[in-house]
A and B are shown apart, each in its own frame.
Chain A
Amino acid sequence: MNHLTTSELFEFIDNRLGKERAGQVASHLAECTHCRRRAELEHSTHQIVQSEPLFKAPERLAALVMISVAAPMRDPLVLRLLSKLGSLVAMIVVLAIVGLAIVKVPGANDQPDKTSSSITQVVAPLSEVYAKGMQTFVDRTSAITQAIETTGDVQFWKTVFIIALTIGVLVAADRVFGKRFIKLRS
């Protein structure tokens, strides 16, 4: 008598065989003590694993999960709006500074060329950029300061920049470290 293959035996136990083949396997099992024993042992293994006590999760898990999911909702609406506003202001300030550097400030030895774009002026030919690079950077940094001074009260812009930067750092810190405080090991 040919015994059942293990995969076929498993598929029978798992109810994965077609009706006809399942009937044939059932008939075989009724006659073959060897295969019947194999099926019984698979069943025993299944029962042992199923009846094994579960690993216990921490008692306070539900409380910790609820703290974690409630944390973002606890912030008042005003604070959440302020944090978003802070990020927005910081982004605008950075973009404004970069914009000034590109549009308002020509290179130290450059003459304004109305026919070419400002960006083209900034992106100088590679052969010259490296030699002039550091000097140009220093020149432009001071030129940026001058450009800001011409647009108004430099102290005002400095204050706006510092506030925006502070809010941005606080928001980033909250995102990065906030969840750590309520981890399981806390």
Chain B
Amino acid sequence: MESLSDHEIISRVLSGNTRSFADLVERHKDKAMTLAMRMLRNREEAEEAVQDAFVRAFNALGQFEKRSTFSTWLYRILFNVCSTILSKRGEPVQSISSDKNKEEWEDEIPDFSEIPDSIVEGEEFRRQVIEALNELPPLYSGIATMFYLDDLSYEEIVTITGSPLGTVKARLFRARAMLRDGIVRRIGTEEFAR
């Protein structure tokens, strides 16, 4: 099977070969599902959100500007769909309200540099990292997923979330801080912190 780039497939779809869109769905569905699951934590809602996002993407494909990647554009649509679902649930996507400034956040970040390799390299540490990630508030879990899983840049996350760069940096910092905190609490190694 010939391997076309996302942009080539999009050109085909726009020129009338609409069935090619199924290739884009196949290519991106699992990563989209992962983002939706991390934000919504409900398989049924995540499946509906992903399907809805792909349908919206198809209907708006003519507006897709090839300056960005299809996955970034799709994520933006999916992020908005998930945000809407969370709002309907009464859990609007928003920052944790906090009076803490950056320095105070800094002081509270557990330093797990003393955690021995025997723990870090074990399966238990891996499991705790993922569980801690899954327990982050939806907004932070979504941002951390995009950052770690897809290696998205700050600028791409800005495009997806529609938030200013400074906000994205602050949220990513908090996400990492909360992730560390969750890991340390889980593996019970507070004694290693600081």
Contacts and interface: CB of A to CB of B under 8 A. Distances in A.
A44 B120 contact: yes
Contacts of A41: 112-113, 115, 120
B147 to A, nearest CB: 9
Contacts of B91: none
B14 interface: no
Contacts of A38: 111-113
B130 A48 contact: yes
B58 A49 contact: no
B51 A68 contact: yes
B19 interface: yes
Interface stretch (A17-25, A50-58, A125-133, A143-151): A50-58
Contact of B54 (A10, A46, A52, A65): A65
A57 B106 contact: no
B120 A55 contact: no
Given A6-B106, A34-B113, A56-B30, A63 B148 contact: no
A35 B114 CA distance: 11
B139 interface: no
Contacts of A184: 44, 47-48, 51
**Chain B contact surface mostly:** helix
A66 interface: yes
Contacts of A70: 18
A142 interface: no
Nearest to A49: B148
**Chain A contact surface mostly:** helix
Contacts of B18: 66, 69-70, 73
Nearest to A46: B148
B120 to A, nearest CB: 6
B51 A61 contact: yes
Contacts of B34: 54-55
Contacts of A185: 44
B59 A69 contact: yes
A48 B31 CA distance: 16
Interface stretch (B3-11, B81-89, B171-179): B171-179
Interface in A168-186: 183-185
B133 A49 contact: yes
A49 B154 contact: no
Contacts of A16: 154
A159 interface: no
Given A54-B33, A65-B51, 10 more contacts: A14-B154, A45-B129, A48-B125, A48-B130, A49-B129, A49-B148, A57-B47, A61-B29, A65-B21, A183-B48
Interface of B: 18-19, 21-22, 25-26, 29-34, 36-37, 44, 46-48, 50-51, 54-55, 58-59, 102, 106, 109, 111-115, 120, 125-126, 129-130, 133, 144-145, 148-149, 151, 154, 172-173, 176-177, 179-180, 183
Pairs A-B, 7 closest by C-beta atoms: A49-B148, A57-B29, A57-B33, A62-B25, A54-B30, A37-B113, A62-B22
19 contacts: A6-B173, A7-B173, A10-B172, A38-B113, A45-B148, A45-B179, A48-B125, A49-B133, A52-B126, A55-B30, A55-B34, A55-B37, A56-B33, A57-B29, A61-B29, A61-B47, A62-B25, A66-B19, A69-B21
Interface of A: 5-7, 10, 14, 16, 34-35, 37-38, 41-42, 44-46, 48-50, 52, 54-58, 61-66, 68-70, 73, 183-185
